[in-house]
């Protein structure tokens, strides 16, 4: 196969995409999440150490990704931004519900604007507007 053929370029791009996915998955396995009263810290992985103080939280978003038309099965992920970094956690994380509850309390304390989709996803996860489960 010639080096600059369309098939080679296509195969190379697909291979690079799978390699990135592999290393990103490996990165998630090696990272750890710590939560305390001051904030959330993710250490390890491709992006190094990231910390968001609860007082510096600027964005809170809970997203649901459905696997079918019924919209029931699927997964959720939590996207937090603040202090110059972004932290993305999915519901495969041990004690995800506790992390979600603590981040939701911080978002309410910061009076962040929350989308209707995020509010619906919070209700589906069992959290109310007051942060109670």
* Length reported for the chain: 133
Q: Do 10 and 52 share a domain, yes or no?
A: no
Q: d(Cα 51, Cα 41) in Å, to the nearest integer?
A: 4
Sheet holding 85-90, edge to edge: 57-66, 74-82, 85-90
15 and 65 in a single domain? The answer is: no
Q: Is the pLDDT of residue 133 over 50?
A: no
Which of the 8 DSSP states describes residue 127?
A: -
- pLDDT of 48 reads 79
Is residue 110 a part of any domain in this protein?
A: yes
The winner for highest mean pLDDT among 1-5, 10-14, 63-67 is: 10-14
Residue with tokens 């939280």: 57
pLDDT tens profile 84-132: 999 988 888 888 899 999 999 999 999 998 899 999 889 888 886 655 5
In a domain, 100, yes or no: yes
Q: Which domain holds residue 4?
A: 1-30
Number of compact structural domains in the chain: 2
């Amino acid at each position: 196969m010639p080096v600059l053929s369309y098939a080679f370029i296509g195969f190379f791009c697909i291979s690079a995409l799978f390699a990135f996915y592999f290393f990103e998955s490996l990165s998630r396995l090696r990272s750890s999440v710590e939560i305390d009263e001051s904030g959330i810290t993710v250490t390890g992985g491709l992006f190094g150490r990231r910390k968001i103080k609860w007082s510096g939280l600027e964005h809170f978003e809970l997203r649901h990704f459905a696997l079918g038309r019924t919209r029931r099965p699927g997964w959720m992920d939590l996207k937090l931004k603040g202090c110059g970094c972004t932290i993305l956690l999915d519901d495969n994380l041990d004690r995800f519900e506790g992390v979600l509850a603590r981040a939701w309390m911080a978002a309410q304390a910061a009076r962040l604007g929350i989308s209707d989709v995020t509010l619906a996803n919070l209700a589906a996860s069992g959290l109310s507007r007051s942060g109670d489960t």
